[in-house]
Structure 1
Amino acid sequence: MVRQVRTSPAAAYDLGYHVVWCPKYRRRVLVGRVKDRLEELIHAKAEEHGWEITALEVMPDHVHVFVKPHPKNSPSYVANQFKGYTSHVLRAEFPHLRSRLPTLWSRSYFVASVGAVSAATIQRYIQTQHERVPKKAGADRA
C-alpha cells in the first residue's frame, strides 16, 4: 500500500481509524436492503466530511470501517457521526428496526488508530532522537 499524506493549511497527515460498532443486543439486522442502505449512508457521511473510506464491511451483527479523517476529527466524533446519522435514517426507512430495538446501535464502539508505521518503530524513533541531533559548530549541547 502506498502511503498517501494528505495536507491542509495547517497540517500534513496520514491518519486512519478502524471503527467497529454493533446493533443493540448484537441483533443480526444488518442484512439485505438494510445492509445495502447502511453502506450508502456511511459513504455519504464520509463524503460530507471529506473523509476517505478505505475499507467497509457490514456483517449481520456488526460494522467495520477503516476511515481516514482530518486530524481535527476525534475518533469519538467519527464513530458518533456514523452511528447517529445511520441510526436516524435507517430507523425512519425501515420500521421493523424501530419495533425490534429501542435504539439501533449499542452505546459502545471500538476504535484503533492505524498508520503506516508501527508503534514500536515510533517508540524507537523517539527514544533515539538524541542520537540524531545535528552538532552545530561551536555550540554546546545541553
Structure 2
Amino acid sequence: MTRQVRTSPGAAYDLGYHVVWCPKYRRPVLDGPVKARLEELIHAKADEHGWQIVALEVMPDHVHLVVKPHPKNSPSYVANQFKGFTSHHLRAEFAHLRSQLPTLWSRSYFVATVGAVSAETVQRYIETQYERAPKVGGRA
C-alpha cells in the first residue's frame, strides 16, 4: 500500500484498518446477488463517512476489508458501522437470510492496523531519538 497522507483540521494521517468478519455460524451465504449487494452497501457506508476502501474481498463465509478512516473513528466503530448497516439492509432484501440465521453476522470481528511503515521501523525511530536529535543550547 502506498503512503497517502490525508488531512483534516488539526490532523494529518495515514491510517488503515484490516477488518474481517463472518456470518453467524460461518455459514457460506455471501454469494451471488447477496455478495454483489453487500459490496455495494460497504462502498455506500464508506462514502457516507468519507472513508477510503483500499481492498475488499467477499468470500462465501467471510469478508476482508482494508479501509482508511478518519483517526477519530475507532476500529470497533468502523467494524460495527459496516456490520450493522449491511445486516439491516441484506436481511430486509433477502428473506432467506432471515430464515437461515438468527442474525446475519457473528458478534466478533478481527481488526489490525495497516500502513506503509512497519512496527519495527517505528520502534527503531523511537529508540534512536536522542542519537538523531540536534544539539540545542550548547548541551551535548
TM-score, with structure 2 as normaliser: 0.97
Question: Contact 2:30–2:58 at 8 Å: present in 1 too?
Answer: yes
In structure 2, what is the equivalent of residue 47 of structure 1?
47
Shift of 1:133: 1.4
In structure 1, what is the equivalent of residue 135 of structure 2?
135
In structure 2, what is the equivalent of residue 66 of structure 1?
66
In structure 1, what is the equivalent of residue 9 of structure 2?
9
Q: How does 1:82-121 map to 2 (within 5 A)?
A: 82-121=82-121
In structure 1, what is the equivalent of residue 23 of structure 2?
23
Shift of 1:2: 3.2
Q: Which amino acid aligns with 1:36?
A: A
Cα-Cα RMSD: 0.9
Shift of 1:137: 3.7
Question: Contact 2:30–2:61 at 8 Å: present in 1 too?
Answer: yes
Question: Contact 2:2–2:116 at 8 Å: present in 1 too?
Answer: no
SS of match in other structure, 1:46: helix
Q: Distance in 1 between matches of 2:131 and 2:41?
A: 49
Q: Distance in 1 between matches of 2:123 and 2:109?
A: 27
The runs of at least 4 aligned residues of structure 1 exceeding 3 Å deviation read none
Q: Which amino acid aligns with 2:38?
A: L
Q: Which amino acid aligns with 1:5?
A: V
Shift of 1:15: 0.4
SS of match in other structure, 2:67: strand
Q: CA offsets per residue over residues 38-95 of structure 1, 9 Å max, x none?
A: 0000000000000000100000000000000000000000000000000000000001
Unaligned 5+ runs, structure 1 = none
Shift of 1:14: 0.4
SS of match in other structure, 1:105: coil
TM-score, with structure 1 as normaliser: 0.96
Q: Which amino acid aligns with 1:119?
A: A
Shift of 1:101: 0.3
Q: CA offsets per residue over residues 6-41 of structure 1, 9 Å max, x none?
A: 000110000000000000000000000000000000
Unaligned 5+ runs, structure 2 = none
